[in-house]
A and B are shown apart, each in its own frame.
Chain A
Amino acid sequence: EIVLTQSPGTLSLSPGERATLSCRASQSVNSNYLAWYQKKPGQAPRLLIYGVSNRATGMPDRFSGSGSGTDFTLTISRLEPEDFAVYYCQQYGNSSWTFGQGTKVEIK
């Protein structure tokens, strides 16, 4: 099973700043099936990015994904107040999904 490790655990930033979140896989992610979600308390995860760099329908272009193999990055170019949340990466392989442990983006 591929293990996803996200860093940092918490990112303290101010609105308008740039956020860079990392997701490292224990082995190469199959066909770059790597996705990112935003999660807020009491809500379901919301798909932001799929296939490493494809924005999901309706997602603002301040969200972007990059990477390949075992190292992936989610960048939020300029934080808006509604972007403060927990972000998870997720990979698909061997007919299953695995998730990272999450990075919390909090207001500094």
Chain B
Amino acid sequence: QVQLQQAGPGLVKPSQTLSLTCAVSGDSISSNSAIWNWIRQSPSRGLEWLGRTYYRSEWHNDYAVSVKSRIIIDPDTSKNQFSLHLNSVTPDDTAVYFCARGVTAGDYWGQGTLVTVSS
């Protein structure tokens, strides 16, 4: 059974970096068929895909245009997990953040982490 377990702080100050991790069990993040995504949900933006990382002989990333200048998603193969780093956050980045596995759709999801951006 594939499981995704999220971890990270629930409160981040404006202008700082939001960092979350997603630990995967039951699958390998280095799999040549899986893709690992970050999505967020807020009342103002709804569900918003942020980006993805995947391994196809080498690591690849794709990011949403809306956050492309501020986001990094990176894998940690030693821990079989991947991380989201979103810098220069503002209150508009307050949302519930989810990680998910999937190429064309998300079949397994993390439990979600509410991140509030506030001083």
Chain A residue with the shortest CB-CB distance to B39: A97
Residues of A within 8 Å of B, CB-based: how many?
24
If A44-B98, A97-B49 touch, does A35 touch B105 (CB 8 Å cutoff)?
yes
Write out the residue numbers on chain A whose beta carbons fall within 8 Å of the beta carbon of B109: 44-46
Of A8-16, A18-26, A73-81, A98-106, the stretch lying at the interface with chain B is A98-106
B104 touches A99 (CB 8 A): no
Query: Which residue of chain A is the closest to B99 with respect to CB atoms?
Result: A44
Closest to B63 in A: A96
Tell me if B47 and A99 are in contact (CB < 8 A).
yes
B58 within 8 A of A: no
Q: Which residues of B contact A99 (CB under 8 A)?
A: 46-49
- Given A35-B106, A50-B105, A99-B46, output 19 extra A-B contacts at Cβ < 8 Å: A33-B105, A35-B105, A42-B112, A44-B100, A44-B110, A45-B106, A46-B109, A47-B102, A47-B105, A47-B106, A56-B107, A90-B47, A92-B105, A95-B52, A95-B62, A97-B49, A99-B49, A101-B46, A102-B46
B interface, CB within 8 angstroms of A: 37, 39, 46-49, 52, 62, 64-65, 98, 100, 102-107, 109-112
